[in-house]
Amino acid sequence: LKMELALHKAIEQDQLLLYYQPKINLHTGEIVGVEALIRWEHPELGLVSPGTFIPIAEESGLIIPIGEWVLNAACQQNKTWQQQGFSTVMSVNISAIQFNQFNLINTITTALEKVGLEPQYLEIEITESMTADIERTIFMLQQLKKLGVRISIDDFGTGFSSLSYLKNFPVDTLKIDQSFVSELRNNPNDETIVKTIISMAHNLSLNVVAEGIETKEQLVFLQQHLCDEGQGFFLSKALTANELEEKRFDIQ
Ligand code: G
Ligand code: G
Ligand code: MN
Ligand code: NA
């Protein structure tokens, strides 16, 4: 409860901020996107990770105003970068509670319109576990598609949904969960799973991203097996907007 009150204050007192983890094209080395990752600059605790406060935000319903703040801040930052000549796709994580609100479509539309960002520069990350109600998921994804934003399935391979949904969901990208990537070169089963996800994605004309790349060996494996894009500490951790602006010249 104490944390919940503090989180209320965080919204009012501007203690939330976004970090940005680059997403790299594994063929060219270019930064093709960034994932917005929220942080909480707590006056006493310092930087609090979303793993700690997102669950509390979800239980208390505060995830709705927080999620709205994230969408607004992410769109605004991307528009600013675009005006500076840095064209990139901004990915935003959406929690199940947000995804279950029909109002999400309005919130996203408003965030885009406020700053005049074109929808194809925003990507919404959902997880498989949010897609249990198939009818509803298809409805929501179609609304998002109509709006023109990109859709990606995060933590792919860890959910319980049937693969058959992939052909009915209008998604653009699969993000291979980091638990598979971390075992590349150690566990042949994980290597098989990763190769299979890459070829399945390509056969379905989907873009495929590997997350959690931590070593050169993992990167090389993914390049050899034609994974399109990658994210992870070996490439770059999440950065502040200023750090990213400097870094993009090194990487590109
Ligand atoms: O950045 P970090 O690895 O600590 O993130 C931990 C978890 O918090 C991840 O699962 C990530 O998807 C989630 N997360 C980060 N930023 C946001 C956000 O803005 N909204 C939601 N719903 N989840 C986020
Ligand atoms: O659930 P989601 O995929 O959105 O989670 C993203 C989280 O993964 C962020 O908290 C980010 O800090 C973390 N992350 C990003 N790259 C790596 C990595 O290479 N290794 C590990 N262990 N975590 C990573
Ligand atoms: Mn994510
Ligand atoms: Na993930």
The minimum-distance atom of ligand 2 relative to the CA of 125 is 4
Distance CA 235, CA 210 (A): 11
User: 16 alpha carbon to ligand 4 midpoint, in Å?
Assistant: 21
Per-residue pLDDT, 252:
47
Tell me the per-residue pLDDT of 134-164, one tens digit each, with 9 for 90 and over.
889 999 999 999 999 999 999 999 986 677 7
Is residue 233 in contact with ligand 2, taking CB distance under 6 Å?
Answer: yes
User: 233 alpha carbon to ligand 2 midpoint, in Å?
Assistant: 8
Mutate which of 179, 180, 211 for ligand 2? The one with the most ligand atoms within 8 Å of its CB, which is 211
Distance CA 141, CA 99 (A): 10
Tell me the per-residue pLDDT of 113-129, one tens digit each, with 9 for 90 and over.
999 999 999 999 999 88
- With cut-offs at 50, 70 and 90, classify the pLDDT of residue 168: confident
Q: List the residue whose alpha carbon is closest to atom 24 of ligand 2.
A: 212
Q: Residue 204 sits in a domain of what CATH number?
A: 3.20.20.450
Tell me the per-residue pLDDT of 173-201, one tens digit each, with 9 for 90 and over.
999 999 999 999 999 999 999 999 999 99
**ipTM greater than cut 0.85:** yes
Number of domains in the chain: 1
Average pLDDT over the chain, rounded to an integer: 94
Q: Any idea which ligand is nearest the CA of 16?
A: 1
How much is the pTM? 0.96
Q: List the residue whose alpha carbon is closest to atom 19 of ligand 1.
A: 38
Per DSSP (E only), the strands in the chain are 16-25, 31-42, 46-48, 89-93, 122-127, 150-156, 173-176, 207-210, 229-230
Whose CA is closest to 170, among 210, 227, 131, 197?
131
Is residue 49 in contact with ligand 1, taking CB distance under 6 Å?
Answer: yes
Is residue 178 in contact with ligand 2, taking CB distance under 6 Å?
Answer: yes
The minimum-distance atom of ligand 1 relative to the CA of 37 is 16
Per-residue pLDDT, 163:
77
Tell me the per-residue pLDDT of 44-102, one tens digit each, with 9 for 90 and over.
999 999 999 999 999 999 999 999 999 999 999 999 999 999 999 999 999 999 999 98
Is residue 91 in contact with ligand 2, taking CB distance under 6 Å?
Answer: no
- With cut-offs at 50, 70 and 90, classify the pLDDT of residue 251: low
- Asked if residue 165 has pLDDT above 90, the reply is no
Domain range for 149: 2-251
User: 154 alpha carbon to ligand 4 midpoint, in Å?
Assistant: 5
- Asked if residue 133 has pLDDT above 90, the reply is no
- Asked if residue 247 has pLDDT above 90, the reply is no
Tell me the per-residue pLDDT of 224-238, one tens digit each, with 9 for 90 and over.
999 999 999 999 999
Beta bridge partners of 232: 236
Three-state secondary structure string covering 83-143: HCCCCCEEEEECCHHHHCCCCHHHHHHHHHHHHCCCHHHEEEEEEHHHHCCHHHHHHHHHH
- Asked if residue 249 has pLDDT above 80, the reply is no
